[in-house]
């Protein structure tokens, strides 16, 4: 294998940085969800990279769990965004003054 562990690590750090930039700058709720997805993918990339270089199957198993939980998180997050959109007619998180039902 010509690629080293550190190459994958650096791509993962770049994705993490982009995700944190998105989370701190964007105010659109859907864009913030994009940023969270990018961060989760950076973490998964690390898990699988370490699993390949150890080599051990545990990292891949954990990555599969992580992908499934991320799917659940996106479903709930999008439902919350839709509810908030219905209440405030906006997806800007600064407009979500109160989340009372």
Partner 1 sequence: MVDATFLALSVLTIGSAIAALELRSLIYGSIALMGALAGVAGFFLLLDSPFVAMFQIAVYVGSIAVLILFTVMLVRRELIFIKVEDPKRRYAGIGLMLVLMVGLGSLIIDSGLKSVTTDEPPVDFRLIGEDFLTYYWPALVLMALILAGSVTGALVLARREDVADEQRTD
Closest CA to 48 of 57, 39, 40: 57
Contact 91, 32 (CB under 8 A): no
Nearer to partner 1, 55 or 100 (CB): 55
CB of 32 to partner 1, least distance (A): 10
Alpha helix positions (H), 1-101: 5-25, 29-53, 58-88
CB of 94 to partner 1, least distance (A): 8
Nearer to partner 1, 2 or 98 (CB): 2
CB of 64 to partner 1, least distance (A): 6
């Amino acid at each position: 294998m010509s690629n080293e562990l550190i190459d994958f690590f650096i791509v993962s750090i770049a994705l993490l940085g982009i995700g944190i930039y998105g989370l701190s700058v964007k105010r659109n709720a859907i864009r913030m969800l994009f940023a969270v997805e990018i961060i989760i993918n950076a973490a998964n990339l690390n898990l699988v990279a370490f699993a390949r270089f150890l080599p051990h199957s545990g990292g891949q198993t954990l990555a599969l769990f992580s992908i499934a939980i991320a799917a659940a998180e996106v479903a709930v997050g999008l439902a919350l965004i839709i509810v908030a959109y219905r209440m405030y007619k906006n997806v800007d998180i600064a407009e979500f003054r109160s989340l009372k039902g």
